[in-house]
Chain A
Amino acid sequence: MGEDADTKNINNSFLPDYVTEADVISTVEFSHRGDLLATGDKGGRVSHEPDFDYLKSLEIEEKINKIRWIPQHNAARFLLSTNDKTIKLWKVPVLKPTDLMVEVSPRRIFANGHTYHVNSISVNSDCETYLSADDLRINLWHLDITDRCFNIVDIKPANMEDLTEVITAAEFHPQHCNLFIYSSSKGTLRLCDMRASALCDQHSKLFEEPEDPGNRSFFSEIVSSISDVRFSHSGRYLLTRDYLTVKVWDLNMERGPIETYQVHDYLRSKLCSLYENDCIFDKFECSWNGTDSVIMTGAYNNFFRMFDRETGRGVTLEAARETGKAHAVLRTRRVRAGGKRRKDQVTVDSLDFTKKILHMAWHPTDNIIAIAATNNLYIFQDKVSYDIQ
């Protein structure tokens, strides 16, 4: 099957170019032009790395769940960040070449919009509004108005004992300002059209893969919970991550994904202990490359996976400092389910489940990726991009 075989189509000569310490990083995002990288951490600090200069905001708060850049209009840069409860708009001043440290200043605070924990924010293509999603509700805000928002999705049941699913992620369509998608803990996706009605409790489209009843187990629903959903840059496809797979969906086909990739199938025989230690609830993100031809997601043991959509092949890489040379080429890794351990292979039993790659970002146009590994940020770029510099 060649699942973990090297593939020429994915340029696997990634070079670790820059590593910085930033405590536990909880979100990473490139700006739309790709010239800035923002990271948020569990200490609530929002930092930026223009050309790899490390900046720190002075304000300390709780864990940042998501960062999203506002598409740029003028010289000034703005971004939105959210922790569990509050969304903030920050201004990133224009950097002078001599700047090593810049103060990021909070410009607006969008408070009291959510009773439950905010998991997503997404800026609309109209550049004026954005959505924020918590476990049960999705709100629509205007970037200039902080004291009110519109509720556009509410799945809270009248009786909480009837609760069967929660919202896990939400995102606006990259081109159509009236459309957004949200994912659930039951593995479904709902596409909503704000032009159809003010309250989008009724979906325009429901994407759900039919379950094989012969396969149903205690763990089925938990592992089907979608932890992240992303529109492709083209706006034609969706990428979802659940505990064991990443899936590509066609917006025109609701009955199931068009592609399914196994991220770490060897964990199927470990589900009992992963449930006991809560790892089964880990929320991994996923990412498209700039041309929507390669997808990426994280795993355990500081491994992350890339899949080439054209060949269907996957590769496993490790976010780690290569000892010795400053610019070393990342080797591909292999995980062995059982049997005799061979050189360069890692057995499932020796995987470190505390080393999880949950957060990552792919540069919008170039082959540069940012990987958050606990309290380290790794930036990798492919050899072609590096040589051009």
Chain B
Amino acid sequence: MSEPTEGTKSIDETSTEEQQEMEDKVISPEKMEEAKLKARYPNLGAKPGGSDLLRKRLQKGQKYFDSGDYNMAKAKMKNKQLPAAMAEKTEITGDHIPTPNDLPQRKTSLVASKLAG
């Protein structure tokens, strides 16, 4: 039992370019989001899934996690304000207290480099 994919409709190919653009805006939220992204990052490459992004994904470093440090720090720092999510992705060893919220899945470099294109 298949459900139709929401948010997509077929585009009338005989429309004028202008009408098509308007229809794109009305019909496809993804295209609107794409325009938003490109407006913010004009240097963004056209192909997001390219080898650059994948290779950085493959090379992402290990976060070295010491549970002894973690548990000691947790006991010490119960009231500490958590750092803003994704703000700082420094190496998590020793004194830097890793908390569940800042054990990210990806490095800062991946974010920065993918936006740089």
Contacts and interface: CB of A to CB of B under 8 A. Distances in A.
Interface stretch (A7-15, A73-81, A120-128, A267-275): A267-275
A165 B38 CA distance: 24
B5 A260 contact: yes
Contacts of B38: 218
Contact of A219 (B48, B70, B111): B48
B58 A259 contact: no
Contacts of B33: 217, 219, 268-272
Given A265-B7, A278-B105, A166 B48 contact: no
A375 B54 contact: no
Contact of A217 (B31, B100, B111): B31
Given A136-B58, A260-B5, A262-B3, A219 B30 contact: yes
B54 A62 contact: no
Given A164-B49, A222-B49, A374-B100, A259 B2 contact: yes
| Interface of chain A: mostly helix, strand, loop or mixed | loop
Contact of B49 (A186, A269, A312, A375): A186
A310 B1 CA distance: 7
A354 B85 contact: yes
Contacts of A212: 8
Given A23-B100, A63-B103, 12 more contacts: A42-B65, A42-B100, A163-B55, A218-B30, A218-B44, A218-B48, A265-B6, A268-B6, A268-B7, A268-B30, A269-B32, A310-B1
Interface of B: 1-3, 5-8, 10-11, 28-34, 36-38, 40, 44, 46, 48-51, 54-55, 57-58, 60, 62-65, 67-68, 70, 85-86, 100-101, 103-106, 110-111, 115
18 contacts: A42-B103, A45-B67, A60-B68, A84-B62, A163-B54, A163-B55, A165-B54, A166-B54, A215-B28, A218-B38, A219-B34, A220-B30, A257-B2, A258-B2, A259-B2, A268-B29, A272-B37, A354-B85
Interface of A: 1, 3, 23-24, 42-45, 60, 62-63, 84, 116-117, 135-136, 160-166, 185-186, 212, 214-215, 217-222, 245, 257-262, 265, 268-272, 275-278, 281-283, 309-312, 354, 374-375
